[in-house]
Amino acid sequence: MTVNEFIAGAMFFSFIGLILAGVPIAWVLGGLSVFFTAVGIILDVDFGARLEVDWLYTGIVVERIWSVMSNWVMVALPLFVYMGLMLDRSKIAHRLMANTLRLFGRMPGGLAVTVTLLGLVLAASTGIIGASVVLLTLIGLPVLLQQNYAPSLATGTIAAAGTLGILMPPSIMLILMADRLALSVGELFIGAVLPGLLLSALYITYIVIRALFNPAAAPPPKEVEALSVSMLLDIGKATLLPLGLIFAVLGGIFFGITTPTEASGIGALGATLLALASGHLSLETLKEVLLETTKIIAFIFAILLGATAYSLVLRGFGGDALMAELLHNLPFGSTGILLFILLITFVLGFFLDWIEITLILLPLVAPVVASLGFDLVWFVILFAVCLQTSFLTPPVGFAIFYVKGSAPDGIGSGDIYRGVWPFVLLQLLGLAIIFQWPETVTWLPGRM
């Protein structure tokens, strides 16, 4: 092993160790880039190691940071975050929950099915996991428990439905992935639609089957409103505006009318108008949404800038070449290498957050996958579905923490852990289906 390879390996494992120790990720990324640059200079000057990394090399990070901050696509990030937060304040989800429940409450597991559908709508409206899971917990969990649903099924459904936001457009994760790999955000958005619907269908199928074979876990409601034309009209009125906003955002991208950045502006304006129409828009609400948007975006961009510096220094030490060599030397063949990458991603999801895996691991493995002849958009969606499991797998499953922090008294961590594992298996089943039939990702982008 050369000195460059040794330093690259030390840099990567230092990153994992410090993250697991609880050090803030932005400081880890930026700090390690400076520290290992100093190591490279010392070895080069004092020991004649002839390393490429020095202060002049690290100065390139200024140019890289400028390219990140001036990237027009990244403008979509704060606008989509604003859109999600404003929709949260407009109380649209509460009305959707009440009206959808009237339609699906009569079927086996109807309440849990309603929560899943609401999670799908929120996913296509907000793209923010924390907001979706907390909102579903606050408005859905009390209703499920009141109808004597098993706590494990209730909490598992809410956690899994909330995580759809990381995959369904407008997904913040897909925007970051597109930026890191220089891919089209629109293609990733459209390519993620069918996989997101597939996962939703798997969740609903599981809920219905479990309710049929174990009615005690999902008992039918005691009072069911009769289906009528007036009820259908009420449901249509409640869903027309949010679904119209979703269509305006995603439909504009799909039909080539708007770019993702322009669509984010439409979404932000539409969410503001919906809040105004619902009577929940005020100066105080606007101030809260703007402050929260600023906090979230500052957090994301701090990590993004640190990751830019870290990736540059790691590449200077040959970390990307080392990763490519290790993967190409695996005795598995191209398909086996791809499965190995997904396995590593799944395991890392137990310990690392999606943003760390996206910014560090994805740029290292994506060139290898492309060199093996695989479609990169298809691989990124596979990678995203695999990362979705990280929200449900302990000990760093953030959806579990969101549910626990918002759940009423009496809901223990054991209930949530037992509830999410069937949905983790369903996510892996969805991953296998997408892997076996790439058309689930590539068909819609091919029609754009």
Q: Give the model confidence (pLDDT) of 417-428 as tens digits.
A: 888 999 999 999
Q: Which of these ranges, 67-71, 183-187, 256-260, 414-418, has the smallest mean pLDDT?
A: 67-71
> In degrees to the nearest 10, what's the CA dihedral of 189, 192, 193, 198?
-170
pLDDT value for 357 = 84
User: Angle at the Cα of 45 (from 317 to 55), degrees rounded to 5?
Assistant: 55
If you ran DSSP here, which 8-state letter would residue 422 be given?
A: H
Q: Which of these ranges, 234-238, 309-313, 390-394, has the smallest mean pLDDT?
A: 234-238
Higher pLDDT: 77 or 426? It is 426
CB atoms within 10 A of CB 258: 19
Percent of the chain surpassing pLDDT 70: 90
Instruction: Give Rg (Cα) of the chain.
Output: 23
The pLDDT tens digits for 155-190 are 999 889 888 878 888 788 888 888 888 888 888 888
Q: Is the pLDDT assigned to residue 45 strictly greater than 60?
A: no
Q: Are 164 and 131 in contact (CB under 8 A)?
A: no
Domain parsing of the chain, residue ranges = 73-301+385-446
The pLDDT tens digits for 290-304 are 998 888 788 878 877
Give the helix, strand, coil percentages of the chain, each rounded to 5.
80, 0, 20
Looking at residues 376-405, what average pLDDT do you find? 85
Higher pLDDT: 116 or 62? It is 116
Reported pTM: 0.80
Distance CA 354, CA 361 (A): 10
Query: Helices H, strands E: what count in the chain?
Result: 23, 0
| HSE value, Cβ hemisphere, 13 Å, CA-based, for 92 | 32
Q: Is the pLDDT assigned to residue 47 strictly greater than 50?
A: no
Q: Is the pLDDT assigned to residue 436 strictly greater than 90?
A: yes
Q: Is the pLDDT assigned to residue 48 strictly greater than 60?
A: no
The residue assigned the tokens 């995580």 is 163
pLDDT value for 40 = 76
For residue 251, give both structure tokens: 């439909």
For residue 296, give both structure tokens: 């979230």
> How high does pLDDT run on average in the chain?
81
User: Angle at the Cα of 221 (from 219 to 225), degrees rounded to 5?
Assistant: 155
Q: Are 203 and 91 in contact (CB under 8 A)?
A: no
Cβ within 8 Å of residue 234, ≥6 positions away: 99, 102
The residue assigned the tokens 């979706």 is 132
Q: Which of these ranges, 9-23, 49-63, 175-189, 373-387, has the smallest mean pLDDT?
A: 49-63
Q: Is the pLDDT assigned to residue 49 strictly greater than 60?
A: no
pLDDT value for 127 = 62
Q: Is the pLDDT assigned to residue 44 strictly greater than 70?
A: no
pLDDT value for 194 = 92
Alpha helices in 147-259 (DSSP H): 151-162, 172-181, 185-191, 193-213, 229-254
Percent of the chain surpassing pLDDT 90: 12
pLDDT value for 105 = 67
The pLDDT tens digits for 304-363 are 788 888 888 887 787 777 777 777 777 788 889 899 999 988 888 887 777 778 888 888
> Which amino acid is it at 381?
I
> In degrees to the nearest 10, what's the CA dihedral of 430, 434, 439, 442?
100
Distance CA 161, CA 420 (A): 10
> In degrees to the nearest 10, what's the CA dihedral of 322, 323, 328, 332?
140
Q: Is the pLDDT assigned to residue 377 strictly greater than 80?
A: yes
Q: Is the pLDDT assigned to residue 233 strictly greater than 90?
A: no
